Structure 1
Amino acid sequence: MATTIVHFNNARRYRRPVLVWCGGCQELQPVEPTGTDAFGPFYEIEVESEQFEFTFRDGVLGDPDMSALQRSFAPPPEANAPVEIWCQSGNPFVYQVCPRQPDRRHASEYLRTLRFKEGVYVPGSGGLSGLGATVLAEAGVLFGLYHPTAARVYVMGDFNDWNGPDGDPEKVVELRRYRGWFNTANTWLTVVDKAKAGDEYQFVVVGGVPSNGGTSTLEVTDPYARVLGETRSGLCAAVVDPTEYEWRDEGWQTPLPSDLIVYELSVYGLTAGLDDLPDRRKGRFSGVVELMKDGYFEDLGINLLALMPITEVPSQQGPESLGYNPILPMTVERDLGTPEGLRAMVDAAHGHGLAIILDKVFNHTSNRANLLWQTVLEHPDEEARNEGGLYFAGETPWGNRTALHKEDVQNLFIDACKMWLQEYHVDGFRFDATSTMYMDHGFVIRLARELQAFRPGVILVAENLPNESDLNLEGYNGIMQWSCLFHHKMKALLREGQYLDWHA
């Protein structure tokens, strides 16, 4: 028989908080609080079965049935001392550590006390959040993670010798919990004074993640990572200071949509096989810059380069992938160059009269190396059902479908676009596979409106195949589209016959 102490925060302010539990074939048993501590009421129960189910009630109202038992816990069989667990109102998770109490301030209030470098994008879609790794004006880095079901969050990296929650207590860095989106305690923030650009890091999340042998602890790559690092199997993130690059494109004006002559290219595909390029520039951003200097694009008469995806993929970019199996929405593909190299390419393009748009794949992620999978569980059962958690909902032909119908997931991808606009000076985006089969159109419309407000004149292209009318709310509304009808008619004319629609 094991003694289990159950702590409850009683955030719903039950007048008479009662724990109702059942172990094995036992009858449902109501238990009054044994006492109260700083977290809230706690209960002591003697468990004979391997697992028990339980819930909390405001008094014993009628006869609760098994469907009311919202939580379950299996005490360690070797436990010699009482086992403690913690629960929160409206949250089905059972924690084996005491959840951190939220700060009294809202995240936006705290963030307004900090000074950021001019030119750095501070995530603000859905409200100022400060997520990711953001360099500060004087020194240090702000680290932020969105996680609505975590009990504790830590950050470890080069700045603290990679000490996680079980490391040297003097070096452990724990994030504070703030109210964020939806005015709930879901935003974790801290400033690390010793951190700097180039430092590699990872978050460590306790609770709200897969059980992992009973620890419910997971090392998490930053969803807002600007670039991935080289340590931790190459799955950590690295701090980037976008202000280190000195831009020379003052006065640049993005061409009007009606004036665009577009050249779509793969950075690797265009440059990897060019014999007159040095090997160090083949397949990289710097190789495209050399073509600009040689007048290659000027001779073609184009004024916009549409880059195929340049965010990180798990396989080698170019020989094995065209970039349509992304890992994260903000990371620069290391096979193509560095964030500084990308900035230099955009800067050079503007100097040669060329606009730049990026192909963004938001409808799915790679299944081979899915860094967002189950990093935020919304319910404990998602682990057993092998569901992806917060960021995923279903599948596409290419990978797990992102849950773009959720506002908090939308915020991540909208923040990504704003970051590319502000920190890389790109002129716009082409969005891959925006059909409602793969992407929520409420998100596409919100995305367009926010980006047009953030950067008037931004170029937006939707691969809306087949052409669904709901993206043409007012006829031409600033979102250009790939047109099936035009494509099919042109191919039929060129072939002097019928073009077979691949969607048929």
Structure 2
Amino acid sequence: MSILREIGAQYSPEKKGTVFTVWAPKARQVDVLLHKPEPIRVPLQQEAMGYWTALSEFANPGTRYTFILDEETERPDPASHFQPDGVHGPSAVVDHTSFAWTDRNWKNLPLHQYIIYELHVGTFTPEGTFESIIERLPELKELGITAIELMPVAQFPGSRNWGYDGVLPFAVQQSYGGPEGLKKLVNACHEQGLAVVLDVVYNHLGPEGNYLHDFGPYFTGKYKTPWGPALNFDDNHADAVRNYFLQNALMWLRNYHIDALRLDAVHAIYDMGAKHFLQELQEHVQELEEQVGRDFILIAESDLNDVRLINPVERGGYGLDAQWSDDFHHVIHAMVTGEQEGYYVGFGKPEQLAKVMERAFVYDGLYSEHRHRTFGSSTEHNRAEQFVVCSQNHDQVGNRMLGERLSDLVDFETLKVVAGLVILSPFVPMLFMGEEYGEKNPFLYFVSHGDEDLIEAVRKGRREEFKAFAWQGEAPDPQSEDTFNRSKLSRSYTSDARQNQLREFYKRLLQLRKNAAALSRPEKDKVSARLEAHDMVLHLVHQTSEPNLYCLFNLSDTEQSINLAPALEISGSWKAILHSAAAEWGGTGAELPNPLEQKAAIRLSPKSLLILQQQH
């Protein structure tokens, strides 16, 4: 494991000043310019490996500064922790020693207890700030959420962006509330018993305000990504680039008390070295755990269906804690919407639903029609909590041309069935903000770039992206402020009785997820799923702990008469504990007799979910 080097502006009360460190291996001279009423220029001393450093007693918290390279180029700090005037302005020194944390007794939740709620800071509330989220935390806790996941908050150009155009990975977006605002939010989450997941991007940087090229070879021409040249994790001078992102990850965990990192699109982190960057990241995070006495979680987003990410190092893996399953989303989405274009090609077959409920992946070494090749690896030896699943997320909603949520694509009864598929699966469930009540406002793609050529390139790129799908209409302008405002949550469930019923249904499912013994920590080999194509009823049985649960999902639009699976070695009778067709959940009011014997015939309402609990 490599020895890390501190970078950026490190304020120290003991040293009564700030140590500035920057990596600029090709520079002949580097100075830091302190933006005081009377500017102060401090020369940095060159050290090994291309680093430059100096201590200045004139730089205090809040002091703005820039680096000057070779007397010519003035730039913000690549490792800036705050950009008060945006990506093109000077950086500001941040004091990470003075915040009054109150979470001394907080312990991170184990991964199997995570119920994740993904949100975008700018559109979750009308104000679009960290502090405005705090007043909404009680309603998330009341819903049953145990962890919030913030889409990227690293500094991006302008004030409107998903966050994946960030160009200063260490700086907290100033329009959201900067470092202080993020700390207040995390502190408040821990007071409410909520964990915090932060989405971080280590596969690319955005185009506007990206000044890393001026400092050193942060990028390599060896590989290409959808966003341009790849970051340099294995080429000449890669050690300093790896250090840059390793230090970034540790900063979020150490200075902001973040509990888990969601690593964006790790399939675009190209590293052919002897030790992959992700494995080294896991090792340094484990070392930090030992130093601070806290547990941290690393969750990968990957397009590869490769369990190497989450396998332990001794089995040839990278040792990450969990990864997202796109297959889970794609199977459910294709089945309930009928969409078969783009990356949904090959999905939506009935037998795939049973498989994905048991194994998280459909393509685990099978031929993929969409990719035209054999794809994926087996999840046989991986635990259920190592997979995060959802029916909606920012990508799957926002990368639709019109940003439609599932509530615009399927009917009310189907929304309840889909909620059950996610929450009653053995995997870690994730909700996308507004999903729980069927939010009608879209979640669109939006930016606020300052370069007209770049704005037009983004518009063109979005149009090209949609050609693989049969979507009708015109894509909203990503640069328009109206596109951003239309994406804000309406929270209309407070005035819409039907939406409130859906939210209450989610709440009841999440209570079951947390309190039912069979669901509290499902074991994959004790969860069975079966679906018969002729009736489109999924039988999902949880036998991890007694009392066992038997979940029936009627995905057809007609009533079905079914029998419980005779092969189950379960004695006794069953009691219905939740029925999506009941009147209290906005259903038809259908009722069922209790208790039900193992051989009893059950009539299932169209598009309904029935949960039975074993009775001894």
TM-score scaled to structure 1, two decimals? 0.61
Q: Contact 2:4/2:243 (CA < 8 Å) preserved in 1?
A: no
Instruction: Tell me the alpha carbon deviations over residues 12-61 of structure 1, each in whole angstroms, 9 at most, x when there is no partner.
Output: xxxxxxxxxxxxxxxxxxxxxxxxxxxxxxxxxxxxxxxxxxxxxxxxxx
* Structure 2 partner of 1:360: 200
Q: Contact 1:218/1:375 (CA < 8 Å) preserved in 2?
A: no
Q: Distance in 2 between matches of 1:155 and 1:309?
A: 28
- Code of the residue aligned with 1:447 in structure 2: it is L
Cα pair distance change 1:368/1:451, threshold 3 Å:
same
* Structure 1 partner of 2:10: 134
State the aligned residue count.
330
Q: Distance in 1 between matches of 2:220 and 2:60?
A: 32
Q: Distance in 2 between matches of 1:160 and 1:195?
A: 13
Q: CA shift at 1:250, angstroms?
A: 1.1
Which of 326, 331, 339 does residue 484 from structure 1 map onto? Answer: 326
Q: Contact 1:365/1:401 (CA < 8 Å) preserved in 2?
A: no
**SS of equivalent residue, structure 1 residue 374:** helix
Q: Distance in 2 between matches of 1:269 and 1:367?
A: 23
Which of 122, 128, 131 does residue 286 from structure 1 map onto? Answer: 131
**SS of equivalent residue, structure 1 residue 407:** helix
Q: CA shift at 1:270, angstroms?
A: 0.8
Cα pair distance change 1:374/1:410, threshold 3 Å:
same
Q: Distance in 2 between matches of 1:160 and 1:177?
A: 28
Q: CA shift at 1:218, angstroms?
A: 1.6
* Structure 2 partner of 1:224: 79
Q: Does 1:243 align with 2:74?
A: no
* Structure 1 partner of 2:336: 494
Q: Percent identity?
A: 31
Q: CA shift at 1:463, angstroms?
A: 0.6
Q: Does 1:390 align with 2:247?
A: no
Instruction: Tell me the alpha carbon deviations over residues 61-102 of structure 1, each in whole angstroms, 9 at most, x when there is no partner.
Output: xxxxxxxxxxxxxxxxxxxxxxxxxxxxxxxxxxxxxxxxxx
Q: Distance in 1 between matches of 2:247 and 2:266?
A: 18
**SS of equivalent residue, structure 1 residue 244:** coil
Which of 184, 189, 193 does residue 53 from structure 2 map onto? Answer: 189
Q: CA shift at 1:498, angstroms?
A: 5.9
**SS of equivalent residue, structure 1 residue 340:** helix
Q: Distance in 1 between matches of 2:62 and 2:214?
A: 27
Q: Contact 1:130/1:142 (CA < 8 Å) preserved in 2?
A: no
Q: CA shift at 1:500, angstroms?
A: 5.6
* Structure 1 partner of 2:258: 426
Q: Distance in 2 between matches of 1:498 and 1:203?
A: 52
More off after superposition, 303-312 vs 479-488: 479-488
Q: CA shift at 1:244, angstroms?
A: 2.0
**SS of equivalent residue, structure 2 residue 47:** strand
Unaligned segments of structure 2, at least 5 residues: 345-369, 372-616
* Structure 2 partner of 1:333: 173
* Structure 1 partner of 2:543: none
Pick the structure with more helix per residue.
2
Unaligned segments of structure 1, at least 5 residues: 1-124, 164-171, 207-214, 273-281, 377-388
Q: Distance in 1 between matches of 2:219 and 2:39?
A: 27
* Structure 2 partner of 1:154: 31
**SS of equivalent residue, structure 1 residue 219:** strand
Instruction: Tell me the alpha carbon deviations over residues 171-223 of structure 1, each in whole angstroms, 9 at most, x when there is no partner.
Output: x31111222xxxx4x221111111100000011121xxxxxxxx7x3213211
Q: CA shift at 1:131, angstroms?
A: 1.8
* Structure 1 partner of 2:248: 416
Instruction: Tell me the alpha carbon deviations over residues 423-464 of structure 1, each in whole angstroms, 9 at most, x when there is no partner.
Output: 1001011011111x4543711221122212212521111111
Q: Distance in 2 between matches of 1:367 and 1:399?
A: 9
Q: Contact 1:154/1:203 (CA < 8 Å) preserved in 2?
A: yes
4+ residue segments displaced more than 4 Å: 495-500
Q: Contact 2:311/2:320 (CA < 8 Å) preserved in 1?
A: no
Which of 173, 183, 188 does residue 348 from structure 1 map onto? Answer: 188
Q: Contact 1:328/1:371 (CA < 8 Å) preserved in 2?
A: no
Q: CA shift at 1:411, angstroms?
A: 0.7
- Code of the residue aligned with 1:354 in structure 2: it is L
* Structure 2 partner of 1:174: 43
- Code of the residue aligned with 2:171 in structure 1: it is T
Q: CA shift at 1:495, angstroms?
A: 4.2
Q: Contact 1:433/1:439 (CA < 8 Å) preserved in 2?
A: no
Instruction: Tell me the alpha carbon deviations over residues 288-325 of structure 1, each in whole angstroms, 9 at most, x when there is no partner.
Output: 00112xx21112201000100111111323xxx11111
Q: Distance in 1 between matches of 2:250 and 2:133?
A: 24
Q: Distance in 2 between matches of 1:239 and 1:150?
A: 23
Q: Does 1:202 align with 2:66?
A: yes
Q: Contact 1:329/1:416 (CA < 8 Å) preserved in 2?
A: yes
* Structure 1 partner of 2:284: 450
Instruction: Tell me the alpha carbon deviations over residues 375-432 of structure 1, each in whole angstroms, 9 at most, x when there is no partner.
Output: 22xxxxxxxxxxxx33444542234432122222011011011111111001011011
TM-score scaled to structure 2, two decimals? 0.51
